[in-house]
């Protein structure tokens, strides 16, 4: 049992962290008297699952606070219930979605007559989605990825049922082929993939790990060297290190001050800043020279 948690024996609340997040979570349920004091004492007791329970506590605290996220042109702190259904609709290959929906239809049409495994496979994605739709953290389709293996089973079920019917065989082949072609076109940039519904302007819909996770920094560096740029103003959203990315000499521009010359800005910074506080208005409606990869706009600004 202990080996499953790397032999860690630790309390849920690790000093010097305070009990403030725990109090915020449990206070409304337990009140701020004796029961909450007992909960705080228990949180200090070393346990083999301390790290796991601490992770749950941190997640619940994060969810209670919310998280700023760009969605449909606005920045929201508390999320919206329809975030995951909408993002699934625009980031899932259309051929796959149609096959999965057909598989769901077949299972529910013969709900009582089919094997129980079919019913479980059809109901689990709904259960996962419904739970996630209550989340106040709307920062990526990655949070519901466990849905997709189940949808793949349903899609495969639909494809098999279509294929055995001679008149529908080409429908199955066509939809499966559509998924393959979409995957080949997306290669190797799978993270910012969007289907044909909104492929031209995905930045109007979602951001963060669905589009801009800092993945194009080295593409930017290579392109600036190709253009012979000797200085760039850059605002970057991601985990890459600017001073280790072989960029030309650079400065960090301010959101509300026009900066002349070459300006590179991550879409996450541009759209989120503009949607939240009107930042980068001097860039937002300007036509960029080009889009670097899928997530960085490159401008040449003159007053």
Reported as a single tens digit per residue, the pLDDT across 69-90 is 999 989 999 999 999 999 999 9
Choice between 271 and 31, residue whose per-residue pLDDT is larger: 271
* pLDDT score of 7: 61
* Mean pLDDT, all residues of the chain: 88
pLDDT at 44 over 80: no
**φ and ψ of 71, to 5 deg:** -155, 125
pLDDT over 60 at 231, yes or no: yes
Mean predicted confidence (pLDDT) in 219-233: 97
At 47 the pLDDT is 73
Enumerate the H helices of the chain as residue ranges: 20-30, 34-43, 50-65, 83-91, 94-109, 116-132, 147-163, 169-186, 217-227, 267-277, 281-284
pLDDT interval class at 294 (50, 70, 90): very high
- Is the confidence at residue 108, as pLDDT, over 80? yes
Q: What is the average pLDDT across 200-218?
A: 92
The residue count of the chain comes to 303
pLDDT, residue 3, reads 57
Grouping H, G, I as helix, E, B as strand and the rest as coil, residue 284 is helix
Rounded mean pLDDT of 102-107? 93
Reduce the DSSP state of residue 44 to 3 states and report it: coil
Q: Is the pLDDT of residue 174 over 90?
A: yes
pLDDT at 1: 47
For residue 33, the model assigns a pLDDT of 65
Whole-number pLDDT of residue 4: 59
Nearest to 157 by CA among 128, 182, 120: 120
Within a 10 A sphere around the Cβ of 38, how many other Cβ atoms?
Answer: 11
Q: Is the pLDDT of residue 6 over 70?
A: no
Distance, CA of 101 to CA of 103 (rounded, Å) = 5
- Band (pLDDT 50/70/90 cuts) for residue 25 is low
For 111-141, how does the pLDDT look when each residue is reduced to its tens digit (9 = 90+)?
A: 777 788 888 899 999 999 999 999 999 999 9
């Amino acid at each position: 049992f202990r080996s499953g948690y790397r032999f860690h024996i630790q309390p849920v609340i690790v000093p010097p962290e305070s009990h403030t997040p725990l109090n915020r979570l449990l206070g409304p349920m337990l009140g701020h008297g004796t029961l909450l004091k007992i909960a705080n004492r228990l949180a200090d007791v070393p346990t083999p699952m301390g790290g796991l329970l601490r992770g749950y506590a941190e997640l619940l605290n994060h969810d209670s606070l919310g998280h700023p996220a760009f969605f449909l042109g606005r920045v929201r702190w508390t999320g919206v219930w329809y975030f995951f259904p909408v993002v699934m609709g625009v980031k899932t290959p259309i051929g796959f979605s149609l096959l999965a929906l057909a598989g769901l239809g077949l299972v529910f049409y013969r709900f009582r007559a089919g094997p129980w495994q079919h019913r479980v496979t059809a109901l689990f994605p709904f259960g996962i989605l419904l739970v996630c739709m209550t989340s106040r953290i709307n920062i990526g389709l990655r949070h519901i990825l466990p849905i997709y293996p189940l949808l793949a089973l349903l899609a495969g079920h639909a494809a098999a049922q279509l294929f055995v019917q001679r008149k529908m065989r080409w429908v199955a082949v066509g939809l499966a082929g559509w998924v393959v072609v979409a995957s080949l076109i997306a290669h190797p940039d799978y993270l910012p993939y969007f289907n044909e519904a909104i492929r031209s302007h995905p930045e109007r819909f979602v951001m963060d790990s669905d589009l801009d996770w800092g993945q194009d920094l080295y593409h930017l560096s290579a392109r600036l060297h190709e253009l012979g740029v000797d200085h760039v103003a850059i605002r970057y959203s991601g985990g890459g290190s600017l001073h280790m990315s072989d960029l030309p000499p650079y400065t960090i521009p301010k959101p509300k001050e026009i900066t002349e010359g070459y300006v590179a800005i991550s879409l996450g910074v541009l759209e989120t800043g503009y949607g939240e506080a009107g930042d980068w208005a001097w860039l937002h409606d300007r036509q960029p020279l080009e889009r670097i990869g899928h997530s960085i706009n490159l401008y040449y600004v003159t007053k």
